[in-house]
Amino acid sequence: MTQDEATPAGGESTGAATPPPSGTADVTAAVHDVARRAKVAARTLATANRMTKDAALGAIADALVGSADRIVAANAGDLERGRANGMSDGLLDRLALTPERIGKIADALRDVAGLPDPVGEVVRGQTLPNGLRLRQIRVPMGVVGMIYEARPNVTVDAAGLALKSGNAVILRGGSAAASSNEVIVAVMRDALTARGLPADLVQSIDAYGRAGGVALMRARGLVDVLIPRGGADLIQTVVRESLVPVIETGVGNVHVYVDATADVDMAVAIVMNAKTQRVGVCNAAETLLVHQDAAAAFLPVALAALSDAGVVLHGDPSAMSFAPAGADMVPATDEDWATEYLALELGVRVVPSLDEAIEHIRTWSSGHTEAIVTRDIAAADRFVAEVDSAAVMVNASTRFTDGGELGLGAEVGISTQKLHARGPMGLSELTTTKWVVTGDGLIRP
C-alpha cells in the first residue's frame, strides 16, 4: 500500500463496526461481514426498476448539496493534515472540496440518473433453427470494491454509478480524505434509508485501515470485482495482491504530439489546456512532442505561454534551443519521459517524424490518453491506428478523457487494461452479462 493507505480514523456512520477491531483476523472477519451485508443489499437493486434507482440518486444529490457545509468543514481538516504532511499541490487540488465542487458532484449524479439503465439491455439475441430463443442481457456485477486515494469525489461517483448499475459498493478511500469521506458516506447512507433502500448498498471500510484494504483484496467470493484508483504504487499493489478480480486503472503519462502541419494557434490552445487547465488529474499532459518541421513556428510561442503559466519545462537539446529568454527550462532525462508529474511540469521533445513520435509514445506511455494536433488526415489516421492507448484525441485536448465529458455522466476510473473495460468506466462497465435461453420443452438430442 502507499503512504496514503495508512490507517485513517473511523466513525459510526462509515458502515463499519465502531470501534474497529485491532487484530488481523478480527479485521478480516469484520470486512467480510461488510461484504456479506453488501451482497444481501445488492439483491434489492437486482430487481429495482429505473425509477427507484434514479430517485435514490436524486435524493443523494440533494442531500450532498444540503450537507455541503458539513462536508467542506470535514474536508478542511483533511487539507490541513495534507499540507502538514507535505502533500503536493496537485494532490491537494484533487482532495479539495468547495460548495461549488460539491454542486458539480451532485450534478454528475443527476446526469447519471438521466442516463439509460444498462440492466436488462439486450446485448445480442436470436432464435435458433430448433426454436430456442437466446438473449444475452446486461446484469449487475453484484458487489463492487473501490480502493482509491485522496479523491472524495470518487466516493460519490463510485457509489452513484454502482447504484444505477444495480450494484452495492464497498469503499476504501484512504487516510488523506478520511474525514471528508466519513461525512459523505454518512450522508449517502441516510439518503438511501430515506428512500426505503438498504444503507448497506454503500459502505466504507476506512475504519479498518491498511489491514481492511488487504482483507477486501482477499474477499474472493464475497466481492465480485475490485477497482483501484490512484497512484502507480497503489494500483500495482492491488493488482499484485488481490484474489478478487481486478479492473486495472492506470496512471496518466499522457502525450500531446504536434505534427508538421498543425495549426499553431490550435496547437498552443490544446497544449495549454491539456497541461494547465487542471494539473493534478490523470488526463493532464505530461510530455509534449513536436515535429521538427513545426518546431520553429510553434515552440517559441508555446514555450513562452507555458512558462508564463508557471510550467517548469524539461526539454531535449533541440527543444531547449527554442526556449524564450527567462523560461524555466532544464535538460530532460529518461526519467522525465517516464514521469507523471501531476504538477506544473512538462517534458518537451522535438522529433524528426511521426514514426519517432509514435515510437516515443510506445516506449514511455502508460496507455491512458494521447493526442495529435494535425491538419493531415493520413497522419491522424496513422496515429489513431498505431497508438495503443485507451483514448486517442485528434485535434482535441487530452482533458476530455473523462466520463462526464464523454457523456457517461461520471466514471469510476480510466481503465488502461484490455479486458472487459477500457477507457472511462461508466455504467455499462459495471455490469456483466448472462445468457437467457427460452425453449418449449426442448431437449438436446
Model pLDDT, residue 91: 82
DSSP strand pairing (133-140 vs 431-438)? antiparallel
On the question of pLDDT at 22 being above 80, the answer is no
420 assigned to some structural domain? no
Amino acid 312 reads: V
Does 358 lie in the same domain as 394? yes
On the question of pLDDT at 1 being above 50, the answer is no
Model pLDDT, residue 12: 35
Residue 280: band (very low, low, confident or very high) from pLDDT cuts 50, 70, 90: confident
CA diameter of the chain: 83
- 123-128 mean pLDDT: 96
Domain holding 339: CATH number?
3.40.309.10
Does 431 lie in the same domain as 393? no
Does 243 lie in the same domain as 115? yes
310 assigned to some structural domain? yes
Q: Are 233 and 151 in contact (CB under 8 A)?
A: no
Does 292 lie in the same domain as 240? no
On the question of pLDDT at 19 being above 60, the answer is no
Model pLDDT, residue 14: 40
Model pLDDT, residue 403: 84
Residue 55: band (very low, low, confident or very high) from pLDDT cuts 50, 70, 90: very high
Model pLDDT, residue 188: 98
Does 262 lie in the same domain as 243? no
Model pLDDT, residue 21: 61
On the question of pLDDT at 52 being above 50, the answer is yes
Residue 151 and residue 183: Cα distance in Å, rounded? 14
Does 178 lie in the same domain as 284? no
Residue 82: band (very low, low, confident or very high) from pLDDT cuts 50, 70, 90: very high
What phi, psi does 374 have (nearest 5°)? -160, 155
Angle at 427 between CA 426 and CA 430, to 5 degrees: 95
Domain holding 199: CATH number?
3.40.605.10
Does 242 lie in the same domain as 127? yes
Domains in the chain: how many in total?
2
Model pLDDT, residue 20: 59
199 assigned to some structural domain? yes
Does 240 lie in the same domain as 356? no
Does 224 lie in the same domain as 180? yes
Does 402 lie in the same domain as 317? yes
443 assigned to some structural domain? no
267 assigned to some structural domain? yes
Does 276 lie in the same domain as 238? no
444 assigned to some structural domain? no
Secondary structure E strands in 365-430: 369-373, 391-394, 414-415, 423-424
On the question of pLDDT at 162 being above 90, the answer is yes
- 363-382 mean pLDDT: 97
440 assigned to some structural domain? no
445 assigned to some structural domain? no
Burial class (CB in 10 A: 0-12, 13-18, 19+), 222: buried
- Which structural domain range is residue 220 located in? 3-249+425-435
Does 315 lie in the same domain as 271? yes
Model pLDDT, residue 15: 43
Q: What pLDDT digit, counting tens, does each position of 403-430 carry?
A: 888 887 678 889 988 888 899 888 999 9
Residue 328: band (very low, low, confident or very high) from pLDDT cuts 50, 70, 90: confident
Model pLDDT, residue 251: 84
